[in-house]
């Protein structure tokens, strides 16, 4: 029996109908020169081998490499039949593409040939985030799941080296992972994790041992200054963590469901140094020398002056939640991806931003009309759309 994908065939509240109508009216715009794909985009990372390419995780169950300059999106890594939530590049020489999936597994492919590789099984719920690392010459894969577990894998053999949980059992579903570039060494890495609870945790991981950092004295011995094990600077879920800066000056940047993005100062023991009031749930943050870029559920991509902390410009184009940001092309552009299935590129040069501000002002005055792009059709049924929406909403609890 056929299954409808038309939301009009299902009961909808007045609010949901209003939202659908608004998104339909907005969906045709060409702001950000959109590359239109046929499924929801759940995650994005830069291609470490190309300044103009990205890798995206799609709800259609694949990973796709997109060249935002040539607009080529034909390199696709297939296999999963459930949505792919996250993607990472690693293994020997960065030759492997890894993908975390709803089916609780991590999939892998040869980056060049796209031949399927090993599957990593160990989580008991969705794999939410993955990252690659290297310790003592061995390539590792680290995954975080909706089961509140961190698993450290030998990327070459698939062996599980460590399974980690919060000591107080208060950690909820993992949301993001990042390596501390200053505190990590060749023989030991410091991993920072964020989750659906407000706390940011730090983990000390080696080949033969791994543990959560809880004792301030332990950190003080290695850093020569006081430190914090669990970092609590947000009110609720933290979706994104990243480091920006060089060596000892690399601060921790965060994006949260409390409506803010923050810079947490390494020198000040991970306390808040700057707060950017984006509003609504903030899913993504990116940082350049001059700008801080935030995006999330309100569909806007906001560019903030890093020197003053003030909002400089709002890029408007997505018509559903923005799920990721990547800075490319030597900090000249930022790429945003969304549940709406589009990849959009926005200028970060002074001239680009000045032009965009002028055009936005004229548009608000009714001088300019938006160009229209052909809207996409979903590959998911209405039931699958509802399930994905429920999963996204569960991250916001």
Query: Does residue 194 contact residue 151 with C-beta atoms inside 8 Å?
Result: no
pLDDT per position as a tens digit, 279-298: 999 999 999 999 999 999 99
Angle at 301 between CA 262 and CA 263, to 5 degrees: 10
pLDDT at 314 over 80: yes
- pLDDT for 218 equals 44
- Identify the residue with better confidence: 372 or 362: 362
Distance CA 210, CA 299 (A): 39
At residue 306, φ and ψ (nearest 5 deg) are -65, -30
Reference 47, options 63, 59, 34, 33; nearest CA is 63
Mean pLDDT of 344-369: 86
Query: What is the average pLDDT value for the chain, to the nearest integer?
Result: 89
Longest alpha-carbon distance in the chain: 66
Give CA separation, 168 vs 172, 332, 394, in Å. Answer: 11, 43, 22
Q: Are strands 105-110 and 120-121 parallel, antiparallel or unpaired?
A: antiparallel
- pLDDT for 171 equals 94
Mean pLDDT of 130-141: 98
Reference 376, options 299, 320, 323; nearest CA is 320
Which residue matches tokens 């990042």?
Answer: 178
Query: Does residue 114 contact residue 120 with C-beta atoms inside 8 Å?
Result: no
pLDDT at 127 over 70: yes
Quickly count: other Cβ atoms within 10 Å of residue 377's Cβ.
Answer: 9
pLDDT per position as a tens digit, 36-82: 999 999 999 999 999 999 999 999 999 999 999 999 999 999 999 99
Give CA separation, 261 vs 57, 127, 235, 241, in Å. Answer: 23, 24, 12, 10
Query: Does residue 142 contact residue 153 with C-beta atoms inside 8 Å?
Result: yes
Band (362; pLDDT cuts 50, 70, 90): confident
Identify the H or E element spanning 313. strand 311-315
- pLDDT for 366 equals 73
Which residue matches tokens 């980690």?
Answer: 164
- pLDDT for 9 equals 56
**E strands, 9-165, in order:** 35-36, 41-46, 53-58, 62-67, 72-78, 84-90, 96-101, 105-110, 120-121, 127-135, 138-145, 150-154, 160-164
Query: Does residue 339 contact residue 41 with C-beta atoms inside 8 Å?
Result: yes
Distance CA 373, CA 21 (A): 16
Q: Collapse the DSSP code of 297 into the 3-class scheme (helix H, G, I; strand E, B; otherwise coil) and give the result.
A: coil
pLDDT per position as a tens digit, 164-197: 999 888 899 999 999 999 999 999 999 999 999 9
Q: Residues of 185-194 as b/e, b for ≥16 C-beta within 10 angstroms? A: eeebbbbbbb
Judged by average pLDDT, the poorest of 59-68, 154-163, 191-200, 223-232 is 223-232
Percent share of the chain, pLDDT over 90: 76
Which residue matches tokens 């998911």?
Answer: 380
Q: Collapse the DSSP code of 43 into the 3-class scheme (helix H, G, I; strand E, B; otherwise coil) and give the result.
A: strand
Distance CA 242, CA 175 (A): 12
Phi-psi region of 209 (alpha: psi -120 to 50; beta: other; left: phi over 0): beta
pLDDT per position as a tens digit, 315-349: 999 999 999 999 999 999 999 999 999 999 999 99
* pTM (predicted TM-score): 0.87
- What SS3 string covers 115-128? CECCCEECCCCCEE
Structure tokens given for 79? 């296999």
């Amino acid at each position: 029996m056929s299954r409808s994908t038309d939301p009009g065939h299902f009961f909808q509240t007045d609010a949901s109908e209003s939202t659908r109508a608004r998104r339909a009216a907005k969906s045709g715009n060409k702001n950000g020169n959109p590359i239109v794909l046929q499924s929801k985009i759940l995650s994005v990372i830069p291609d470490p081998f190309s300044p103009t390419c990205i890798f995206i995780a799609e709800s259609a169950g694949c990973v796709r490499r997109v060249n935002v300059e040539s607009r080529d999106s034909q390199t696709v890594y297939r296999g999963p039949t459930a949505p792919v939530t996250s993607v990472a590049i690693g293994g020997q020489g960065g030759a492997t593409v890894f993908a975390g999936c709803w089916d609780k597994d991590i999939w892998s492919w040869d980056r060049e040939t796209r031949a399927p590789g090993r599957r990593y099984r160990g989580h008991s719920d969705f794999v939410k985030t993955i990252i690659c690392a290297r310790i003592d010459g061995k390539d590792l894969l680290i995954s975080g799941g909706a089961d509140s577990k961190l698993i450290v894998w030998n990327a070459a053999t698939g062996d599980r080296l460590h399974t980690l949980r919060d000591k107080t059992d208060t950690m909820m579903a993992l949301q993001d992972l990042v390596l501390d570039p200053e505190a990590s060494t060749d023989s030991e890495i410091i991993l920072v994790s964020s989750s659906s609870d407000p706390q940011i945790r730090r983990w000390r991981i080696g080949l033969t041992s791994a543990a959560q950092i809880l004792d301030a004295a332990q950190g003080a011995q290695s850093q020569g200054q006081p430190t914090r094990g669990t970092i609590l600077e947000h009110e609720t879920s933290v979706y994104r963590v990243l480091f920006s800066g060089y060596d000892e000056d690399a601060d921790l940047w965060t994006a949260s469901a409390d409506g803010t993005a923050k810079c947490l100062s390494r020198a000040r023991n991970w306390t808040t140094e700057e707060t950017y009031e984006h509003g609504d749930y903030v899913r993504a943050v990116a940082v350049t020398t001059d700008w801080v870029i935030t995006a999330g559920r309100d569909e806007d991509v906001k560019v903030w002056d890093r020197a003053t902390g003030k909002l400089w410009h709002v890029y408007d184009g997505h018509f559903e939640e923005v799920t990721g940001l990547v800075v490319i092309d030597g900090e000249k552009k930022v790429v945003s991806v969304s549940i709406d299935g589009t990849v959009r590129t926005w200028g970060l040069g002074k001239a680009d931003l000045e032009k965009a501000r002028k055009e936005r002002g004229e548009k608000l005055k009714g001088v300019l009309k938006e160009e229209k792009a052909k809207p996409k059709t979903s590959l998911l049924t209405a039931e699958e759309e509802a399930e994905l929406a429920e999963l996204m909403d569960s991250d916001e609890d």
